[in-house]
Amino acid sequence: MYKDDKEYYESLPRKRIGVAALIFYKKMLLIIQPGYSSSWILPGGTVEYEESPLEALIREVQDELSLKIVPKDLIAVDYVANTDVKGEYLQLLFSTEDLTEEQAQSIEAKFYEVKSYRFMDFDEALPLLAPNIARRLQSLQDHPGEILYLENGKQNPIALLNL
């Protein structure tokens, strides 16, 4: 039994939340290679304490690439199970306004955050991306225009029910 609401809520599990952005320039997807990994991923990062997911997305892309983005829509929520060193977390994927020529030319990868970045055709980027991200993007491609709930990058069968 808990003595009050505070004790009860402090006892509940905590999950990390990650955010990522689909950023396009001339129909090419922006992907990055983070400083801590050899994998390619989408720009974004972890939501900090008392920070909204949108605030985190804007901050992370600014920190990584010195790029100010304009988020548009939430396009996917992906529950990622505890299968590796990352543990379990929720990943929120947002679309953004396409970059202008000026924005694309102003990108400055901060080496401690990002080793490299590139713009690639969507389909050509998929094999380079970390497997969980590639699955997530493939699910989006299979269901264009929908907001998806995913588990480990795949559409959950319960989400397919027309309730």
Contact 59, 51 (CB under 8 A): yes
Contact by Cβ (8 Å): 26, 119: yes
The pLDDT of 59-83, averaged and rounded, is 94
> pLDDT value at position 158?
64
Residue-range domain boundaries for the chain: 14-160
Amino acid 157: pLDDT: 62
- Per the model's pLDDT, the better-predicted residue between 96 and 15 turns out to be 96
Among 26, 23, 27, 81, which residue's Cα sits nearest to residue 57? 23
- Decide the pairing of beta strands 148-151 and 71-80: parallel
- CA proximity to 109, closest of 56, 43, 162: 43
> 124 in helix, strand or coil?
helix
- pLDDT above 70 covers a percentage of the chain that reads 95
> Which positions ≥6 away from 158 have C-beta within 8 Å?
none
Output the pLDDT for position 163. Answer: 44
Mean pLDDT of 131-157: 90
CATH for the stretch 14-160:
3.90.79.10
CB 150 within 8 A of CB 76: yes
**pLDDT score of 14:** 79
**Please, are residues 152 and 66 in contact by the beta-carbon 8 Å criterion?**
no
> Does the pLDDT of residue 11 top 60, yes or no?
yes
Higher pLDDT, 61 or 146: 61
Residue 36's pLDDT band, with cuts at 50, 70 and 90, is confident
The token duo for 130 is 């970390």
pLDDT digit string, tens, across residues 38-54: 889 999 999 999 999 99
- Judged against a pLDDT cut of 60, whether residue 28 lies above it is answered with yes
Report yes or no: 32 and 114 within 8 Å, Cβ to Cβ.
yes
Locate tokens 């988020």: which residue? 71
Mean of the pLDDT values across residues 9-37?
91
Residue carrying structure tokens 């699955």: 135
> Could you give the 3-state DSSP secondary structure of residue 161?
coil
**% of the chain at pLDDT higher than 90:** 70
pLDDT over 80 at 159, yes or no: no
pTM of the model: 0.88
Question: Contact at 8 Å (CB) between 35 and 63?
Answer: no
